[in-house]
Amino acid sequence: SIKMDLLHSNGVLIIQHLQRDYRAYQDFLNFMSHVGDPRNIFSFYFPLWFQLNQVVGTKMIWVAVIGDWFNLIFKWILFGHRPYWWVHETVIYPNQSSPCLEQFPITCETGPGSPSGHAMGSSCVWYVMVTAALSYTVRWKEKSAITLHRLTWSLLWIIFWIIQISVCISRVFIATHFPHQVILGVFAGILVAEAFEHTPAIQTASLRMYIKTNLFLFIFALGFYVVLKLLNIDLLWSVPKAKKWCANPDWINIDTTPFAGLVRNLGAFFGLGIGINSEMFITSCKGKNSCKISFRVLCIAASLATLQLYNFVKIPTHTEYLFYILSFCKSAAMPLTVVALVPYCVHTLMRTTDKKCN
C-alpha cells in the first residue's frame, strides 16, 4: 500500500542518516544489539536476578517466553519487511536506483521484521528489572526518605529509556529493522511485562502447569502455522528473501528462523518448571541457605561461569529437526543449571565445609 511504502521509504532515509553520520559509534551500536538480544535473558539477567530474588527471576523467564511467543505470532500476522531486502524488492524507486544500505554480520535476520524481537525482549525484561528494583524503594516512602525514592525512581526510568532507545537505534543502524518496527517492539514488550505484574499465580505454578503452558504455546503456534499454510500463506516467506539479499551468505543464521526462537523459549520454560519443582531446588534454596549472602554470591558466580560454557556447545545446523531437538535440550539445561544444579552443588560444598569447621 502507498502508506506502507511511504513509511518504509522514510525509514530507509533514517537508516541512511544513521549509517552516514553515526559511523563512529558502530562498535557501541553493535554492542547494544547484543545487549538487546533475547538470548541474554537466559544466560545473564536470569541467573543474576534469580539468586537475588526468586520471584523476580521466575517472572523474568515467564515474561521473556510469553513475550517472545507473542512476538512470533505478531510477526506472522504483520508480514513486516526488513530494510536490507525491502530496498531491493520494492518498485517505488525509479529505474533501479535503490538506495544503498550497508549490512553487518548481525544484519541478516531471517524472520519477518515487525515488531522487533530485540526491542520487545529488551523492554519487557528491563521493565521487570526496574519495577523490581523500585519495589524495594517503596519502603523509603514511609520512612520520609521520599526525595530519595523520587530520585531513584527517576534515575531508574531514565536508564530504562536510554537502554531501550540505544537498542532501537542499533537495530535500525544495522538495517535489520525499520524505525516503526522497533517502536512497536518496545511498547509491546512493556505491555507484556505490565500484564505479569498482576499475575502472582506464576510463582506457585506446578510442573503440570509448566508442561500445560508449554504444550499450549507450541500447539497454538504450530496450529496457526498449519492453518495459514492450508490457506496457501507461507509463513517462512522471509527466509528466501534473507538468503537472496544478504551481502554475505555466512551471515545467514538458522538461529534467527521463527521456529528456532520458539523451540529455544519452550526449552527454557520447561527447564525452569523442572528446576523450581525439583527436590534439589527445595533442599538448597528453601532452607537456611536462602538467607546467606555467601550462598547467593557463590551461586551467581558459579551459574554465570557454567552458562558461559554452554556457549561453547555448538549445535549442528545441517539437519533442521536435530537442530530443534538439541536446541530445546540445551535451552532447558540453562535454567535447570541456575535453579537446581548449581545451588545444590554449592549447598553440598558449604555443608561439607561447615562439618569440617565444627
Q: List the domain range (segments joined by +) for residue 257.
A: 2-357
Binding site for substrate, residues?
82, 171
Instruction: Establish whether 8 is a catalytic residue.
Output: no
Q: Give the pLDDT score at 73.
A: 93
Angstrom distance (rounded) from CA 328 to CA 264: 5
Binding site, residues?
82, 171
The pair phi, psi for residue 34, each rounded to 5°, is -70, -35
Number of other residues whose CB lies within 10 A of the CB of residue 318: 7
Tens-place pLDDT, residues 222-250: 999 999 999 998 888 998 999 999 988 88
Q: How confident is the model at residue 144 (pLDDT cuts 50, 70, 90)?
A: low
Q: Give the pLDDT score at 143.
A: 65
Q: How confident is the model at residue 141 (pLDDT cuts 50, 70, 90)?
A: low
Q: Which long-range contacts link 153-156 to residues 24+ away (Cβ below 8 Å)?
A: 156/130
Q: Give the pLDDT score at 92.
A: 86
Q: Which of 81, 177, 180, 347 is catalytic?
A: 177
Angstrom distance (rounded) from CA 4 to CA 101: 19
Tens-place pLDDT, residues 177-190: 999 999 999 999 99
Q: Give the pLDDT score at 142.
A: 67
* Number of folded domains that form the chain: 1
Amino acid making up residue 182: V
Instruction: Establish whether 177 is a catalytic residue.
Output: yes
Q: What is the mean pLDDT of residues 145-168?
A: 92
Tens-place pLDDT, residues 284-327: 877 676 668 888 999 999 999 999 988 888 888 788 888 899 99
Q: Give the pLDDT score at 204.
A: 87
Asked if 116 and 90 count as a contact pair (C-beta separation under 8 A), the reply is no
Angstrom distance (rounded) from CA 82 to CA 70: 19
Asked whether the predicted pLDDT for residue 56 surpasses 80, the reply is: yes
| Nearest Cα residue to 297 out of 350, 230, 229 | 350
Give the distance, in angstroms, between the CA of residue 351 and the centroid of all CA atoms in the same chain.
36
Q: How confident is the model at residue 118 (pLDDT cuts 50, 70, 90)?
A: very high
Q: Which of 8, 118, 180, 347 is catalytic?
A: 118
Summary mean pLDDT of the chain:
90
| Nearest Cα residue to 58 out of 298, 277, 217 | 277
Give the distance, in angstroms, between the CA of residue 203 and the centroid of all CA atoms in the same chain.
20
The pair phi, psi for residue 347, each rounded to 5°, is -60, -50
Q: What is the mean pLDDT of residues 156-169?
A: 96
Tens-place pLDDT, residues 247-268: 888 888 767 677 888 999 999 9
